[in-house]
Structure 1
Amino acid sequence: MDKILQLLGLATRAKKVVSGEELVLQEVRSGRAKLVFLATDAAKNAEKKVTDKCSSYDVPLIRYGTRQELGKAIGKDERVVVAVTDAGFARSFAKLVST
């Protein structure tokens, strides 16, 4: 498992992660989502909805991993979209992605 998925698991254990399309969109709208992960194998309609919402609310979006990988990292079944609600974790993810 790579560092991004490991950090996602750590953020989950710290209760700083929300998963599921509707819950993530709710977090984006409320301003609590600091970063959103979208699975690379997401359906087109889910991809468009999440991408549009993140861009209109200025929330960084990272396309990363498959739905199985994202789900496994947070200890759940398949997850297409995951939001990180902590600014510190979001900065850590941004550093990992940029390197």
Structure 2
Amino acid sequence: MNNKFLQFLGIAKKAGKIVEGYNKCEELLSKKRAYLILLATDISENSKKKFENYALQRNIDVVNEFSSSELGNILGSESIKVICIVDKKISEKLKSLLPENN
């Protein structure tokens, strides 16, 4: 794996700075503040709209560049469609590692 974004996402998981899954992320967004939302490219249109609305209401960036299997593979799961980053510095580092920023 040569994608620095995905490598750093794995480090963020080990540090306990991410929340995975639709229900957990929805609960987090309704209660607390997340700093970045990652949506799989193959997420359903309804789910995508729901999380994009959360992001818009709370002024959170959304990344929609990786498939659910790519996200799942790096985090030790078969597939993951929604991830929230709960640390501001880690979210900023992840954004800086996105392909369009390099």
Both proteins in one fold, TM over 0.5: yes
Aligned position for 2:28: 27
5+ residue gaps, structure 1, are none
> Does structure 2 conserve the Cα–Cα contact (< 8 Å) formed by 1:84 and 1:90?
yes
Residue aligned with 2:38, SS: strand
Residue aligned with 2:97, SS: helix
> Does structure 2 conserve the Cα–Cα contact (< 8 Å) formed by 1:37 and 1:62?
yes
- Aligned counterparts of 2:55 and 2:32: Cα–Cα separation in 1: 10
Moved over 3 A (4+): none
Q: How does 1:1-99 map to 2 (within 5 A)?
A: 1=1, 2-97=3-98, 98-99=101-102
Could you tell me the TM-score, scaled by structure 1's length? 0.92
> Does structure 2 conserve the Cα–Cα contact (< 8 Å) formed by 1:35 and 1:90?
yes
> Does structure 2 conserve the Cα–Cα contact (< 8 Å) formed by 1:29 and 1:57?
no
The CA RMSD measured in Å over matched residues stands at: 1.1
